[in-house]
Chain A
Amino acid sequence: MKTDNRISPEHASRPAASTVIEINELCKSFGKLQVLRNLSLQLFENENLILLGKSGSGKSVLIKCIVRLLIPDSGSITFLGKNVMDLNSEELAEMRVKIGFLFQSGALYDSMTIRENLEFPLVRIKKHLTRQEVNEKVEESLENVGLLDSINKMPSQLSGGMRKRASLARTIVVDPMVMLYDEPTTGLDPVTSNEISELINRVQHKYKTSSIIITHDIECARATADRLIMLKEGQAYMEGSIEEFEQTSDELVESYFKSQNKP
């Protein structure tokens, strides 16, 4: 258990080659509001890293900086040894192909059917695929998330949980190496949340992905976490395993966990 923003000795002892994303001294402000303050962390191969923290602690900003939807003020983000900020547009597109981003809202294209939503990135990224291969890929992805029956439906015809699953299918259809989940269980009932958590684990095992999962949902964290980092005011406040977080006497972490254990 740590209370600073360095990697714990247990994780630091991993071989350097297994680091997928490395973030160093990252700062990001919006006007006078400083959201990220010298944040440093690493994501290792095949791990699920949970980012916890109050709203406004900079979690979503961090993952948007990773895919360069936002430009940080200072610091560096390295993806597979390459500095994300130094990539040209072609290299950036290549990097983004390797990263799957599940948005909080799902962000399904609402003028397209679920099939078209999945085909959209697939036919543009994997141009060599034949029509039949595209269909097979789309159907396989939807089957993995249990939505094959809804292939021809519009996003508006799906429930919140189904939309999240469809969005996850759209993300995994291009075989990403890294998954970034922005609050995957927010707004869902406990049963659907558990289903999504199981899906996250299934995706990790099947596609061998490394994931950063932003969540407020302790149950989701329990189900999926290999390692947790709690952010406070844009800095890594605490890092450890789920057991370490549950046993800590730190007031902030305790109150965070207790607030969600209430009946």
Chain B
Amino acid sequence: MKVIRPLLTKIPKIPRPDVKNRAIKISENAIKKTQTANRFFLEVGEFGLFLWLTIKALFSRHFEFKEFLRQCFLVGNKTLPLISLTGVVIGLVLTIQSRPILAEFGAVSLLPGMVAVSIIREMGPVVTGLICCGKIGSGMGAELGSMKVSEQIDAMEVSSTNPMRFLVVPRVLAATFMIPILVLYADALGILGSWAGANLKGDVTFILFFTQAFNSISFSDFIPAVIKTFFFGAAIGLVGCFKGYTAGRGTASVGKAANQSVVLASVFVIIIDLIAVQITDVLQ
């Protein structure tokens, strides 16, 4: 006992774990995570409801055809210069970068077909879709957001006009129908850009280049690519309108709505593309 007692006294005290504080921290973290999850599910629910109201307004008796045409013009006309530039540059860059690799294998003659397939199947739709997210989605988000902030949407509602019918349906439809047209236009310019790129270090006639390009393309390349762009358009229109329509009251919320429209629409475009590729792969 005489030996043990001094030893026992020398054993350092183990600090008692601060159970109370740790429990508080854990519960605070849990609350934060729950709140984030709640916000996410709330937003998913709101988007579902918004989608339902849009579909309901779409099939209502009164269709705002004039506003639909105006939105088609705005979507097409305002995006055209940017799409033109992007289309040409995609074709040009793809050709300039692919040519040396193909030349190594003596397969330069495959260049028009390879570029055309990659532009029509993937590059044209996705790049145009993403550009439209920035240009059209943010525009819709900001426009409807500022209408919300300046009480214009409320004014429409109290004057017995359904804002969904006048503001949302024409915009969503315009995006759905105009984006495929813009994609086809971008594809055509991309192939034209590719021909220009091919002529920077070679000499290929326009007819020869296009004959080789179109010989490599089949309807199975073309049709799924076009179909998915309708979904890109619908997603961009819906997300832009949803974010604008549900914007907060302050002016800062307009910028936030525009920004979130771009981010969310881009995510949607990428996800839709992924799903479309999988479906096409299975079907082929």
Q: Is chain B found bound to chain A in the same assembly?
A: yes
Chain A interface residues toward B at CB < 8 A: 64, 67, 69, 93-94, 96-97, 99, 101, 103-105, 107-110, 120-121, 124-125, 170, 174
Known pairs A93-B160, A120-B159, A170-B159 / 14 extra A-B pairs, C-beta < 8 Å = A64-B154, A67-B158, A94-B160, A96-B158, A97-B159, A97-B160, A99-B158, A101-B155, A103-B155, A107-B151, A107-B154, A110-B150, A110-B152, A125-B160
Judge if B157 is at the interface, Cβ distance under 8 Å: yes
Cβ < 8 Å to A, chain B residues 123-156: 147, 150-152, 154-156
**Interface residues of chain A: helix, strand, loop or mixed (majority):** mixed
A165 to B284, CA, bound (A): 64
The minimal Cβ–Cβ distance linking A80 to chain B, given in whole angstroms, is: 16
The contact string, 1 if C-beta is below 8 Å from chain A, for chain B 153-169, is 01111111100000000
Contact A121 B160 (CB under 8 A): yes
Whether B160 and A103, one on each chain, are in contact in the complex, defined by CB atoms closer than 8 angstroms, is no
- CA–CA, A125 to B62, complex, Å? 12
Complex interface: chain A residues within 8 A of B156 (CB): 109
CB-defined A-B contacts under 8 Å, sample of 29 = A69-B154, A69-B158, A93-B160, A96-B157, A96-B158, A96-B160, A97-B160, A101-B155, A101-B159, A103-B151, A103-B154, A103-B155, A105-B151, A107-B150, A107-B151, A107-B152, A107-B154, A107-B155, A109-B147, A109-B152, A110-B150, A110-B152, A120-B159, A120-B161, A121-B159, A121-B161, A124-B159, A124-B161, A170-B159
B150 surroundings in chain A (CB, below 8 A): 105, 107, 110
A179 to chain B, nearest CB (A): 12
B77–chain A nearest beta-carbon distance, Å: 15
Residues of the A chain whose Cβ atoms lie less than 8 Å from the Cβ of B151: 103-105, 107
B interface residues, tally (CB under 8 Å): 13
In the complex, what residues of B have CB within 8 A of residue A109's CB? Answer: 147, 152, 155-156
Shortest distance between the CB of A100 and any CB in chain B (Å): 8
Q: Which residues of the other chain, A, contact B159 by a CB distance below 8 angstroms?
A: 96-97, 101, 120-121, 124-125, 170, 174
A131 to chain B, nearest CB (A): 14
Shortest distance between the CB of B158 and any CB in chain A (Å)? 4
Among B62, B147, B150, max chain A CB count under 10 A is at: B150
- The smallest beta-carbon distance between B251 and chain A, in angstroms, is 12
Chain A, Cβ-Cβ closest to B64? A124
Expressed in whole angstroms, the Cα–Cα distance for A104 and B151 within the complex equals 9
Q: Which B-chain residue is minimally distant from A124 (CB atoms)? A: B161
Q: Given the complex of chains A and B, what is the CA–CA distance between A174 and B159 in angstroms?
A: 9
**Cβ–Cβ < 8 Å partners of B152 in chain A:** 107-110
Chain A residues contacting B62 (CB-CB under 8 Å) are 124
CB neighbours of A99 from chain B (8 A) = 158
Give every chain A residue within 8 A of B161 (Cβ-Cβ). Answer: 120-121, 124
Give the complex CA separation of A223 and B265 in angstroms: 52
Q: In the complex the two chains form, is A124's CB within 8 Å of B154's CB?
A: no
A190 to chain B minimum Cβ distance, whole angstroms, is: 25
Residue among B158, B160, B161 with most chain A CB within 10 A? B158
Please give, as numbers and ranges, the residues of chain A lying within 8 Å of B154 by CB-CB distance: 64, 69, 103, 107
- Chain B min CB distance to A210 (Å): 16
B155 touches A124 (CB 8 A): no
